[in-house]
Structures are given as C-alpha cells and as structure tokens.
Structure 1
Amino acid sequence: MPGAVVITRPLAQALPLAERVRALGRAVEVLPLLDIAPLQDQSALRATLARLQDFALVAFVSPNAIDAAFAHIERWPAGVTLAVLGEGSRAALAAHGITPDRVDIVSPHDAARSDSEHLLETLDLAALRGRRVLIVRGESGRELMADGLRAAGADVTTLPAYRRSVPALTPALAARLVTLLAVPNDWLITSSEALRGLLDLLARVPGENLVAKMQQQRLIVPHARIAASAHELGLPLVTLTGSGDERLLAALQSRP
C-alpha cells in the first residue's frame, strides 16, 4: 500500500493541493520547504506595479510572485503581455481574474520544461528589442531570464516581490523528518531550491543518516530541471510529470 504524499510547496500552494490528494484516498503530509514572506519595505514594489503600462512584457517567475504582485494590482493594463513558466502560474493568474481570453499570456510549449530557458525560446525576442520588460520574482533567484532578455536588446527591470527562505532546523522539524523517512512515501517536489534545502536539513540532523534514507524515497517533480537537480543530488527515484497539478495527481493515481 502506498505511503503518504509529502507536499513540500510553500503553505499557500500546499493546502489546496493537499485537499485534492486526500480526495484520491491518499494520506497527506504538508511539509513546506520554503517559507514565503512579504518584503519589509514594499514601496518600490507598489511604485513599479503602478506603472505596468510602461512595459511591453511582464514576466512572473512563480505563483508566489503573482500573488504578491496582485495584492497591489487593481486592473491589468491593456496591451501588456504576461509571461509565466508553468500551469501553476496560469492557475494563479486565473484566480486573480487574468485569463487568456482577456490578456495575452505566454508560457513554454513543453509542459515538462517550464523554466526560464524554454520561456526565452517561446518569446518573440526580436519584438522586445529596445522595449521595456519587467520580471517579478523573489528577492533572489536565477538571472538567466534577465540576462537572456538583455542579450536580445530588451530594457529589463527585475522587481523583488517577496522573500523566501528554507525553514530553520528546529528539534520538532528534525523529529518530523526522521518519522517521514522511516517509511516509503511519495514526495512532491516543485522547486530545485527547496530540494537542495531539504538535503541540507537532512544532513544536519544529528545521529541519523537521513540523506541515505531520502535516496530510497520516490520523488514526483513537474519540471525537467528539478529532475536533473534530484539526480545530481544522488536521488534516483524520480518521476517527471510535466507542469500542472493535474499531471502531478495523475502520477499519484498511477502509483503501483
């Protein structure tokens, strides 16, 4: 019989998915591996979002970026194209009333490769030469999208919208990790950063070889880049689903 499904998304995205997993008859453990917090000073965020009409393209790197930004956006300006990486971000936009019938939304064609590299391949970079582009992201992150757009001649602004961090290794968290790794479970991993943070946490639990135990757990991931990170970190049991909760749920239902 399959074990629990460990959902490692930030809490706001983990809870809705947890309900859908429970509806499949699976036990669920919600274990957020990234904490999301608002910026202490949001003045620059508000000021930039107040002039979205100045940009030809606005790219959001994650559902968290969308939620943080749309707390300050009353209406999406006409003629401004949106770019997102995956189905989770499209769903987040829809929750804020932004749908493809109303706004031009661009995302990678390949659901298994919903990352910055493939978004750059999808965008009409020549049309962005000399035009202003806004990238809404966390306080830190990959520079590949910004670098690629600048190389194509776009005038790029990166806008931090939230702060993310790996949770601290408390005695309670260490005990929970030991318990989770005592039995086989399915781990839904939706971020390479979260996966690296998990391995660091496991390595710091005293008196346990939790990294070795993690190597026996099954990972379910939506993106090829996360699958590659898992293999680089020595985690061999990886199922790649493609972007979107429907594909993650289908992978759980096909669990032998």
Structure 2
Amino acid sequence: MSVVLTRPRQEAERWAGRLRARGHASLVLPLIEIAPPPDLQPLRAAAADLARYRAVMFVSANAVQGFFGVAGGFDGPRAWAPGLGTRDALRAAGVPPERIDTPAPDAGQFDSESLWQQVQGQLHAGERLLLVRGGDGEGRSQGREWLAQQLAAQGVTVDTVVAYIRRCPSWGEEERALARRAAADGSLWLFSSSEAAANLAALLPGQSWAGARALATHPRIALAVRTLGFGDVRESRPALEDVVASIESVG
C-alpha cells in the first residue's frame, strides 16, 4: 500500500522520508503550492515592530518560514503554535522552547481551540496580538477567524499579516494519471488540509473517489474529504507516530 502525500512539496518530501524510514512506500502528489506574498512590505513592517505585540500566533510552519525569511530576530513576544509542525519550525528558527505556547500534549486535536485552552488568560484588554497566516493567490489574508474572535471578545487587538500564499498547483497528464491510479489501487491518501481536498476536486473534475481511501488529520478535514466522495475516510492526530499507527491499522 502506498501513502499519497498531499502537503506542499517541501513538507511532503520530508514526510516521505520519514515514512520510508518506517517501511511505508509513499507517493508525493502535492495539492497545495506555497509561494511568497506578492508584496513583502507589510510582513517586513510587522517583523520590525514586534515590540508592540504581547504575542504572535503562527498558523503553520509555512507562516513561520515566511516570517523568519524577513525577520531579523524574535525578541520579546510569546509565540503561539496550534500544531507540532509549527512548534518545530519555531524551534528551528531559534525561538526558545520556553517562549512557545502549544496545545497540551494529550489534546484531542492540535488546532486553535486546543491552543486557546493554554493561552486564553495570557493577553488582556488593550494588548495586541500579531496573527501570521497565509493568503490566497492574490495575497489576501485567508484562514479561520475563530481564535481572533475569542481575543477580540476580550478586548485584545488582532493585527493580521500574510507570510505566504497558497494556490492550487498546475498538474500535467503524469500527475493526473498518478492520481487516477491512486483513486482505485488501494492507496491511502493523507490529507492535512481541507483546501487540498477542494483543489483535488478542481484538478480532477468528475473523478469518482468512491473506491478511494483517505486518512485526515482533523475532523473538519475528514468532512471535506467525505464531501468530495472518498469511500473510506479515517481520522488521525497529526503527529508522525499517530499517523504511522493509523496507516498500519488500515493495513
């Protein structure tokens, strides 16, 4: 059984190496393409003005990499990370572990809701948070507003800056052929984004997924994959050990 990795290419290649080391074959078939925002000036300005923020929330590892691509350092604020990949990217960027806030290790999910359980008393009315996130193909801010809404309700000002853009990749006939084969040969598709499912529908319109199998790393993502038509959709926590255990349980 091959595992189809749908993350952006750099992440997918890294996961492919980890899975091969655990004895699992994989197919890298990215469904999201990552690129710098068309205008880097707002990101540079935010990175140069960190002293005004009590905390900075990075929505993903890509947000970390985009931010630290222009930032000269990270002195002062807390760094919020909703998932382990984001946490690891912050550590790799040189942020001290004691300044990083993440969901509890035993959290049912790694997302904004679980992160909020750890940080909700950290900021107070009149303070500011910088939300570093992705944007659409035009560079417009894009993402869930749940955590920003919780902060706003407490009187915290949330400023948003785009550190990268996400767009649907361009597929040639080779990628389409690989995807069609993986839809029917027992491969297990690994989804870590609802957007990836939407892009798959756009890249292969009319494709039947009734015989396809998928593993999703969040209930919202699982719902998107089921809506696409996958016949067998299972859920897993996003950490490598949990994903590997779920893969091996599928057989």
Output the TM-score relative to the length of structure 2. Answer: 0.88
Q: Deviations 1:139-174 (Å, cap 9, x if unpaired)?
A: 122222322321221111010011111113543332
Distance (Å, rounded) in 2 between the aligned partners of 1:108 and 1:228: 24
Distance (Å, rounded) in 1 between the aligned partners of 2:218 and 2:43: 29
Distance 1:45-1:194 versus aligned 2 partners, 3 A rule: same
* Equivalent pair of 2:6/2:31 in contact (CA under 8 Å): yes
**Which residue of structure 2 aligns with residue 242 of structure 1?**
237
> 1:77 Cα deviation (Å)?
1.1
User: Which sections of structure 1, spanning at least 5 residues, go unmatched?
Assistant: 205-209
Q: How does 1:1-256 map to 2 (within 5 A)?
A: 3-78=1-76, 80-101=77-98, 103-107=99-103, 111-125=107-121, 127-139=123-135, 140-204=142-206, 210=207, 212=208, 214-256=209-251
Residue 196 of structure 2 aligns with an amino acid whose one-letter code is A
* Equivalent pair of 1:5/1:186 in contact (CA under 8 Å): yes
Residue 253 of structure 1 aligns with an amino acid whose one-letter code is E
Distance 1:129-1:232 versus aligned 2 partners, 3 A rule: farther
Corresponding residue SS for 1:203:
coil
> 1:110 Cα deviation (Å)?
5.5
Distance 1:149-1:168 versus aligned 2 partners, 3 A rule: same
User: Which sections of structure 2, spanning at least 5 residues, go unmatched?
Assistant: 136-141
Distance (Å, rounded) in 1 between the aligned partners of 2:226 and 2:143: 21
Distance (Å, rounded) in 1 between the aligned partners of 2:246 and 2:231: 17
Corresponding residue SS for 2:38:
coil
Corresponding residue SS for 1:134:
strand
**Which residue of structure 2 aligns with residue 207 of structure 1?**
none
Deviates more, 1:179-188 or 1:31-40: 179-188
Distance 1:225-1:99 versus aligned 2 partners, 3 A rule: farther
Aligned residue-pair number: 245
Distance (Å, rounded) in 2 between the aligned partners of 1:229 and 1:122: 28
Q: Percent identity?
A: 36
> 1:55 Cα deviation (Å)?
0.4
> 1:238 Cα deviation (Å)?
2.3
Distance (Å, rounded) in 1 between the aligned partners of 2:30 and 2:49: 34
Distance (Å, rounded) in 2 between the aligned partners of 1:191 and 1:111: 19
Distance 1:21-1:85 versus aligned 2 partners, 3 A rule: same
Residue 110 of structure 2 aligns with an amino acid whose one-letter code is S
Distance (Å, rounded) in 1 between the aligned partners of 2:227 and 2:59: 23
Distance 1:92-1:215 versus aligned 2 partners, 3 A rule: farther
Residue 118 of structure 2 aligns with an amino acid whose one-letter code is T
